[in-house]
Structure 1
Amino acid sequence: MTDDVLDKETSVSVELTESGVKAKAKSRTVAALDRLGGNLSELLNVRMERHVTRERAIITGEKKMIEAAVEYGIDRLKKDPDFAERVAEKHLRKIFHRQDNKDAVLVEAIEDLRHDPLTDAEAEAGPAELNPEFMDRFERYAEDASTEELRQKWGRVLSAEIRKPGTFSRKALRVVEELDAQTAQLFERLCRSRLENVFPKSLVGELSFAEAASLVTADLMVDPGAAGQIRQSVLMKASDERELWFVPLGEYAIAFQKDINLGQPGAAGTGPAAVLRSNKDNNPVLPVYVLTSTGQAVAEILPNHRREALLALLGKLRKYWPHEDILALEWMPSVSSYQVSEM
């Protein structure tokens, strides 16, 4: 039997069609709602259900206070009503505040999932519930999310973890909490040009020493070193037997004709070095900055601009090389392969 004295029904299988979240028996969304103490109908109708929330919290809190009083001094509570009232008010006020914060974080997570719904593959992949260790740590952060900014941030963390369980390690959660405003703003700006785990240099430009150092120190970016970093290409055959230089970029990829004119090894070819280079074997490589695994996790709570970033990169490349030399590809889950995209 449920401990909730105001709601005796427990939902095991539910479809949140209004919010865009499809949740069946193994739903991580429902598990997170249950763990953080949220009630779906209350969260989606917060103002209308505020009275019910308060009443439920009061009843639950009073029950806990009575149980605690038995152990730690019920005699004093009986003999000193003023003391008992102060203890109860302080305790319940703290409970209200923490639950209000958690409820607000849950609302933000559901809104994020509504705006960017899970695919069927995302909904079915992974475990039935979120990792208990993640939820233990996340709940503490959610309880302290007393501002709109914090609630939005932790709501996006939860929705990202629901989409892809295991995204946020202990370190990633700590980085989200501790990231200073200046570094956060820089990282958010760079993520508008993110493609998988890299920032193409042609889109973000050369970072200053201070900018790179702040991102490396925050464990968001791999130290680029003096020589910089590149995304390598591999030679592959297309379905029509053409040989192409293939540069994978997560859900997207770029392919170059095998005989593309890159100039001498190590030279910039017909375009600036920051757009495309050739390596010592005269293969095309893309100059980039590389994110750490923590950086990738933190990037998942930011808006998805990857399609726009790919279009911007194609625009840079096509300034210097013919359109027919460069192909854009998109990952198609239905066939588990990249397909040429008309971009």
Structure 2
Amino acid sequence: MAKKTDEGVGIDVKWSWQGISGKIRSRLTSALDRRAAASIDQTGLDVERQVAVHRALTESKLALIAASTKALQKEIQNNPELARRALNVLSRAEREEDNIQASLGLAIEDLQNRENTGEGSNDGPDQLNPDFLNRWEHYASGATTETLREKWGRVLASEIRVPGSVSLKTLRVIDEIELPTALLFQRLCGRRLGNYVPELTAGIDQYEKVQLTEAGLLLQSEFPRTITFGEGEKADGTSWWMLESNGVGIAVRKDPLPAIADQAKFSIAPIRVREGALVLNVLVFTEAGRALASIQNYSEESSFRALAEAIQQGSGTEAAEVLKHVGDNSWSSADESATKALGTGGDA
């Protein structure tokens, strides 16, 4: 039976709130209350999902079912087809409720197991937008497989972390994405840096790029979109190019420039020098792409290591190295103890 907690919420969630900010806690519990959620034990989520529908039905729903059954009782006795249809409706409603509760349980798991900090996590309202929840419930009700339930659970968790990050349009795009496209995008996200992916490491061909663009996940552009590296110096006084994202970065040697970096005046090579600066061609996510990318597991450091390896081709390991932020404007090699003071890059 659901009970009031010291948070003033009509649920009993038996898991640690450690690391969960007040804002995120409030949004989660508002979503749970909306679903008339029952007690969810972190150690028994599978069992809870199996029986959640029976405990999640509110008194009003039970009363409605009872009243409807009474009104139809006489008609059902003389109309087997009507009885069959009524049972189908109730069975479908039960399955949909089960799907929603299962997706909700997986959203809780995601909030517990993945980082809940970041830009916007402590901003915005204390409760989720009702319109968003209405649409989310509609899509989650059709999540008949564990894969789909996990997807919608992560979508809800993403919106709880940063309200407004998943628009109603984005929900529709995510719902309409076919499995091959979703798998392709998931592979692409394994090399993302923030909200973009370097062309050098994207690992997709032109046809696949068009496929993701037409699916509404990548921005369309006649010319390559680019990111510009910043400038900085190593401790020994040598000049390097620098690009960073979320506390991890890459330093690229300026002299001699890596062989892969094109210096032709009108070049559109994946990495090149343009007007005295090093620029990198990137594939940029749309709003829907950003939302879908946010629910994918990936490692920023792994993405930078892949980029460093691509730049080192033909020039050796000294051409580029991965760095980690150690405070102020100082960066330390991810593999060595040497410290750099480097500038940061930005959008071109």
User: With structure 1 as the length reference, what TM-score do the two structures score?
Assistant: 0.76
Against the structure 1 CA distance between its residues 259 and 296, is the aligned structure 2 distance closer, same or farther, given a 3 Å change threshold? same
1:32 is matched with 31
1:340 is matched with 332
1:213 is matched with 210
Q: How does 1:255-274 map to 2 (within 5 A)?
A: 255-256=251-252, 259=255, 261=257, 266-267=262-263, 273-274=269-270
Alignment check: 8 A CA contact 1:161 1:167 kept:
yes
Alignment check: 8 A CA contact 1:191 1:299 kept:
yes
Question: Which of residues 227, 231, 251 is equivalent to 2:227?
Answer: 231
Against the structure 1 CA distance between its residues 145 and 187, is the aligned structure 2 distance closer, same or farther, given a 3 Å change threshold? same
Matching residue's letter, 2:64? K
Q: How does 1:186-205 map to 2 (within 5 A)?
A: 186-205=184-203
Q: How does 1:117-128 map to 2 (within 5 A)?
A: 117-119=115-117, 124-128=122-126
1:304 is matched with 298
1:62 is matched with 62
1:22 is matched with 20
Q: Report the Cα offset of residue 261 of structure 1.
A: 2.5
1:172 is matched with 170
Distance 2:19 2:77 in 1: 48
Q: Report the Cα offset of residue 173 of structure 1.
A: 0.9
* Mapped pair 1:253 → 2:249: yes
Question: Which of residues 306, 322, 330 is equivalent to 1:328?
Answer: 322
Q: Report the Cα offset of residue 307 of structure 1.
A: 2.2
- Deviations along 1:107-127, whole A, 9 cap, x unmatched? 221222333242498764443
Q: Report the Cα offset of residue 248 of structure 1.
A: 3.6
* Mapped pair 1:129 → 2:92: no
- Deviations along 1:132-174, whole A, 9 cap, x unmatched? 2211211111112122222121112112222222221122111
Matching residue's letter, 1:254? I
Q: How many pairs are equivalent?
A: 325
Q: Report the Cα offset of residue 249 of structure 1.
A: 3.5
Against the structure 1 CA distance between its residues 25 and 40, is the aligned structure 2 distance closer, same or farther, given a 3 Å change threshold? farther
Q: Report the Cα offset of residue 251 of structure 1.
A: 4.6
Q: Report the Cα offset of residue 324 of structure 1.
A: 6.0
* Mapped pair 1:222 → 2:222: no
Distance 1:154 1:40 in 2: 20
Q: Counterpart of 1:47 in 2: which secondary structure?
A: helix
1:283 is matched with 277
Alignment check: 8 A CA contact 2:38 2:56 kept:
no
Distance 2:261 2:59 in 1: 74
User: What is the root-mean-square deviation of aligned Cα atoms in Å?
Assistant: 4.0
Alignment check: 8 A CA contact 2:24 2:121 kept:
no
Against the structure 1 CA distance between its residues 120 and 216, is the aligned structure 2 distance closer, same or farther, given a 3 Å change threshold? closer
Alignment check: 8 A CA contact 1:99 1:143 kept:
yes
Distance 1:326 1:299 in 2: 27
Q: Report the Cα offset of residue 33 of structure 1.
A: 1.8
Against the structure 1 CA distance between its residues 330 and 34, is the aligned structure 2 distance closer, same or farther, given a 3 Å change threshold? farther
- Deviations along 1:193-222, whole A, 9 cap, x unmatched? 1111222122124622x2222111111112
Q: Report the Cα offset of residue 327 of structure 1.
A: 5.1
Against the structure 1 CA distance between its residues 322 and 186, is the aligned structure 2 distance closer, same or farther, given a 3 Å change threshold? same
Distance 1:155 1:30 in 2: 15
Which blocks of at least 5 consecutive residues in structure 1 are unaligned?
A: 1-5
Question: Which of residues 303, 316, 330 is equivalent to 2:310?
Answer: 316
Percent identity between matched residues is 28
Q: How does 1:52-201 map to 2 (within 5 A)?
A: 53-54=53-54, 57=57, 60-65=60-65, 77=72, 80=75, 82=77, 86=83, 89-119=87-117, 124-201=122-199
Q: Counterpart of 2:2 in 1: which secondary structure?
A: coil
Q: Counterpart of 2:109 in 1: which secondary structure?
A: helix
Could you tell which deviates more after superposition, 312-321 or 194-203?
A: 312-321
Against the structure 1 CA distance between its residues 83 and 172, is the aligned structure 2 distance closer, same or farther, given a 3 Å change threshold? farther
Q: Report the Cα offset of residue 323 of structure 1.
A: 5.6
Distance 1:318 1:122 in 2: 36
Which blocks of at least 5 consecutive residues in structure 2 are unaligned?
A: 336-348
- Deviations along 1:268-313, whole A, 9 cap, x unmatched? 7xxxx54x3211x232112222222221111112222332111111
Against the structure 1 CA distance between its residues 199 and 103, is the aligned structure 2 distance closer, same or farther, given a 3 Å change threshold? same
Distance 1:169 1:297 in 2: 9
1:12 is matched with 7
1:47 is matched with 47
Alignment check: 8 A CA contact 1:196 1:251 kept:
no
Distance 2:308 2:20 in 1: 35
Q: Report the Cα offset of residue 45 of structure 1.
A: 4.5
- Deviations along 1:35-66, whole A, 9 cap, x unmatched? 23322426845536856852663854331235
User: With structure 2 as the length reference, what TM-score do the two structures score?
Assistant: 0.75
